[in-house]
Amino acid sequence: MKCQEANHRSGPEAGRAILSSKAFSAGSRMRAKVGRRKPAVNREAADLFITRNMTYIGPMDLPNAITPALLDRLIRRLPQWVLSCEEPHQQRGLAGALLNAPPRDAGLLPAAAGLALWAWQERPLEVENLHLVKSACSKLNISYPGMSALLEFLSDALLQDLKTEDFDLLARSGEHDLLLKHGMRLLRDKRQGLFWLARAFAPLLAAGRWDILLAAVDAALPPSAAGPKRLLRDRLIAEAAFCLKPPEEALRLLEGLTPQFWGWWRAQRMAERFLALGRKDKAAELYTQLVQAMPWHVNILLRLDSLLHYEPPPPQDLSSTALLLYSWNKAGLLENTLDCLAGTEAAQARCIVVLDNGSTDETPQVLDKAARGPLGSRLRPVRTRVNVGAPAARNWLLSLEEVRACEFLVFLDDDAALQPGFLHGLAGAARSNPQFGTIGCRIKASAEPGFLQSADYNLSPPQARRSPSPDIQQHVHIFDNCANTPDTGLFTYTRPAAHVSGCCHLLRRETLDTLGGFDVRYSPTQFDDLDRDLRLLASGSSCLYVGEIEVRHVQFSSLAKSKTLSQTGHILGNMVKLASKFDQDEAERMFEANLESLHQHCLQAAKRVASAVR
């Protein structure tokens, strides 16, 4: 259920796959529909790209001027462009597609080169990005002092044929002290050190251990390093500081980077650190410069739109809102979640119903204690004698008389950490956007550095590819654009979505009455919330993702949480059930409707930004 298979290739191969894919041909149908719109939409969106005086944030003198209607033209030519400019396989696939496109698309080559440069600036240690940026530089004859030397240094270091299985297994094991102990000899090797650092850097960053990460960088790229080594060392330490250090320290290290090599990445990360310090004006200034330099970058445009226009809604009337949780044998996690709720506006809701799904641990005592606390009489414990599974537990909660009287129904996982304002945010978004049946938010891991678990999910092309069973033709493919990546700020925006995380989402009572509840065939758990959102999309509505609302979450989802063969088999079995629900025609209609809504929203965001920055 991840990105389309073509996106998991890299560079030219991915490009050829996308150009020949159904998504690319779908662009013809979408262009025919879009072409009937009033031309004024394009002119308004084009205003965004008027050249202005800017401070220097990096190399942006790409061959051929970026045309005013570039973003709209990109989405018309490659409908998948609007999904994301951040997901790594998507970056390589889209840039590769344009670098290998026919001559009639030569005007889009600057966007391809820009996306290639951005992907490399974001992940300079990935071999696929190295190939991509070298291809782009060669295709468009891009060169500036020192770039060739840096790329050749990386080529020599990363393109080695070494056995990596044992090292990779240790890097993924979570035994990071052990990795450093046994890997130090490899990291210090003058010829191979950077090769091994490239494989260890991301796992060590995700672990949140500054000491171990710095020791690994010091081993492969010593503090005394000069030339390309120094450029790369400074870049990696700045990334670690962005994720792990206070904003002031991260800003100092980011400002020390050479804009000539890391300009766009440096400016974007600096904007987010300024924002963390309360300098929204400075963040908006940097993002404005980035949009002018990178008008093709969908996420950066949406982030600036959010900075300029999103305001947390005022306190809402929550008297017709129900908070719904279910839990099985996770007393400690449930207690933490209820404690978090007690520090929010949750007590203003009509009711907080917690279904104890047949637990045999201390869950009843946890609920009794919570009922005597700040949540008080709003808390309604419900108990089943056995675990009825997630879909049935949700339906049980929805069937309760007090819940049926509510307009908004907010489901929370029993291991979520909520911040004050989250419920006002969800209810405010629902009231301001009545056309959406579900409202979701940005989900981050509870442990620092708080990597993203989910943002907005949309649809990849409905072409046939690897299916969970050879007997099942899977047509609905979910595009997951951010799982297990640092929260860089580039998913903090509001836009339509095919699906949002079930960890914390708001459902409308009227939509549930029309579409029905959760399908118990997905018992005991997994994909019942996705199935409900897809039914919503097939009905002509969709979800709204509000990335400005942040929720922390302990446990990951789907295959990432399966620890046994039985659990993995169950999840794959539910994937088969989901795959059999929608035929080719339904999948195509859903895919085109999803992309059309994203396209329209992107152009509207461009119009709003253009008007605001004049």
Which residues are within 8 A (CB) of 527 and not within 5 positions of it... i.e. 6 or more apart?
Answer: 558, 571, 574, 575, 577, 578
Report whether pLDDT(1) > 70: no
Q: Give the type of residue at 418.
A: L
Top pLDDT among 66 and 329 is at: 329
Q: Give the type of residue at 346.
A: A
> What's the pLDDT at 462?
81
| Nearest Cα to Cα of residue 528 among 564, 467, 571, 569 | 571
> What's the pLDDT at 10?
44
Q: Each residue of 393-411: pLDDT tens digit?
A: 999 999 999 999 999 999 9
Q: Each residue of 425-483: pLDDT tens digit?
A: 999 999 999 999 999 999 999 999 999 999 999 999 887 455 555 666 778 888 988 87
| Nearest Cα to Cα of residue 215 among 193, 248, 243 | 193
In the chain, what are the helix, strand and coil shares in percent, each to the nearest 5?
Answer: 55, 10, 30
> What's the pLDDT at 168?
87
347: its two tokens: 């007590």
Q: How many other C-beta atoms lie within 10 A of the C-beta of residue 470? A: 7
Q: Each residue of 349-385: pLDDT tens digit?
A: 999 999 999 999 999 999 999 999 999 889 999 999 9
Residue 163 CB-density burial (10 A; 0-12 exposed, 13-18 middle, 19+ buried): exposed
Our CA dihedral for 432, 438, 555, 574, rounded to 10 degrees, sits at -170
> What's the pLDDT at 483?
79
Region of poorest pLDDT, from 61-65, 137-141, 237-241, 316-320 = 61-65
Termini Cα distance of the chain: 42
Residue 7 CB-density burial (10 A; 0-12 exposed, 13-18 middle, 19+ buried): buried
C-alpha atoms less than 13 angstroms from C-alpha of 522 in its C-beta half-sphere: 26
Give the sign of the dihedral formed by CA 286, CA 288, CA 294, CA 297. Answer: positive
Contact (Cβ atoms closer than 8 angstroms) between residue 549 and residue 602: no
> What's the pLDDT at 9?
43
> What's the pLDDT at 425?
98
> What's the pLDDT at 567?
64
Q: Each residue of 47-62: pLDDT tens digit?
A: 332 223 234 455 544 4
Q: How confident is the model at residue 134 (pLDDT cuts 50, 70, 90)?
A: very high
d(CA 499, CA 543): 6
